[in-house]
Structure 1
Amino acid sequence: MKTFKTLDELAACAGQEITVTDWYTVTQQHIDQFADATDDHQWIHVDPERAKEGPFGATIAHGYLTLSMLAGFFDRSISVQGVRMGINYGLNKVRFMAPVPSGSRLRVRVNLLSATPIEGGTQMAWLCTIEREGSGKPVCVAESLSRYYV
């Protein structure tokens, strides 16, 4: 866990890599639960037997599941003291560059692109590169926006 004592301390790190998270395993249970929550039950995600014969040889995580995991990665890896709350503000750009087979271990490289003052706090733009263990290619690259309020 990377802890910043103040929002200004974090903002001063703009242009730098802030953290590389711990590895996290994406299980078939995660994939199935996401399918239930989003009503996206395409066989490539939820039918292990059929997916064995598919293009990836196994079920794969939904791209949006991979993207949504950013919230947990941030929560487990970055802490800013002295803020009232932090919120997700949106995304500027997202690309799904490689599949995430069930059982994959993922981590995120987090770079702070910018810190912009807003009323009551700071808006952060983050470059998030989600990596799969054993792969030379990222599975997802996203520019994520968050707002921290003091």
Structure 2
Amino acid sequence: MKVFSGLDEFVAAAGSELGPTEWMEITQDRVNLFADATDDHQWIHVDPDKAAAGPFGGTIAHGLLTLSLLPHFTHDLYRVDNIAMAINYGYNKVRFITPVKVGSSVRARARIDDVAKLDGAVQATVTVTVEIDGVAKPAAVAESIVRFIG
């Protein structure tokens, strides 16, 4: 994990690469819990028997489950000390590129693309790439916007 001592150090890190994180296994239990939380019980996510004969050869994680792991991964990638708070301001762009098969492992890398000073704060655009162990193309790429309040 990269630790920035404050906003000035974070601003100076624009263009920096962060990570990767540790691998995280995507289990069927995690997928099922996400399906329950979102009421998205599509068979490609929750029915291993039917999904085995489907296009992916087994169940896959919801794209939004992959996206929902970004706060976990971000906390493993970096933190900014000596601030009042950090706020997830949203996303400019999110792409789900490769399905995440249940039983596979994912991790993340990030790049601090842009950092803009605001009145008493800093707004950063950070591109997070979620990788799948042993797969060439990423699971997802998300352009996250974070505000750090001084």
Q: Give the alignment's TM-score, normalised by structure 2.
A: 0.96
Counterpart amino acid of 2:39? Answer: D
CA distance in 1: counterparts of 2:137 and 2:16, whole angstroms: 21
What's the secondary structure of 1:101's corresponding residue? coil
Q: Note the C-alpha offset of 1:46.
A: 0.4
4+ residue segments displaced more than 2 Å: none
> What pairs with 1:1-150 in structure 2 (closer than 5 Å)?
1-150=1-150
Q: Note the C-alpha offset of 1:142.
A: 1.0
Q: Which has the larger displacement, 128-137 or 12-21?
A: 12-21
CA distance in 2: counterparts of 1:89 and 1:108, whole angstroms: 19
Decide whether the 8 Å contact of 2:83 with 2:148 is kept in 1.
yes
What's the secondary structure of 1:20's corresponding residue? coil
Q: How well do the aligned residues superpose, as a CA RMSD in angstroms?
A: 1.0
Q: Note the C-alpha offset of 1:18.
A: 2.3
Q: Note the C-alpha offset of 1:119.
A: 2.7
Q: Note the C-alpha offset of 1:120.
A: 2.2
Q: Note the C-alpha offset of 1:109.
A: 1.2
CA distance in 1: counterparts of 2:57 and 2:40, whole angstroms: 20
CA distance in 1: counterparts of 2:137 and 2:99, whole angstroms: 10
What's the secondary structure of 2:76's corresponding residue? helix
CA distance in 2: counterparts of 1:51 and 1:20, whole angstroms: 31
Counterpart amino acid of 1:41? Answer: H
Offset from partner CA, 1:99-139 (integer Å, 9 cap, x none): 00011111111000011112321111011111100000011
What's the secondary structure of 2:19's corresponding residue? strand
Counterpart amino acid of 1:95? Answer: R
Decide whether the 8 Å contact of 2:18 with 2:77 is kept in 1.
no
CA distance in 2: counterparts of 1:34 and 1:118, whole angstroms: 36
What's the secondary structure of 1:67's corresponding residue? helix
Q: Give the alignment's TM-score, normalised by structure 1.
A: 0.96
CA distance in 1: counterparts of 2:29 and 2:39, whole angstroms: 15
Counterpart amino acid of 2:129? Answer: T
CA distance in 2: counterparts of 1:62 and 1:104, whole angstroms: 13
